[in-house]
Chain A
Amino acid sequence: EADIYQTPRYLVIGTGKKITLECSQTMGHDKMYWYQQDPGMELHLIHYSYGVNSTEKGDLSSESTVSRIRTEHFPLTLESARPSHTSQYLCASSELPGVGGYTFGSGTRLTVV
Chain B
Amino acid sequence: GESVGLHLPTLSVQEGDNSIINCAYSNSASDYFIWYKQESGKGPQFIIDIRSNMDKRQGQRVTVLLNKTVKHLSLQIAATQPGDSAVYFCAEDRGLSNFGNEKLTFGTGTRLTIIP
Contacts and interface: CB of A to CB of B under 8 A. Distances in A.
B93 A43 contact: no
Contacts of B91: 101
B56 interface: no
B73 interface: no
A100 B46 contact: yes
B51 interface: yes
Given A90-B43, A101-B93, A42 B49 contact: no
A35 B36 CA distance: 14
B116 interface: no
Contacts of B45: 2, 104
Interface of B: 31-32, 34, 36, 41-46, 49, 51, 87, 89, 91, 93, 95-96, 98-100, 102-109, 111
Interface residues of A, number: 25
Nearest to B107: A42
B107 A106 contact: no
Contacts of B98: 97
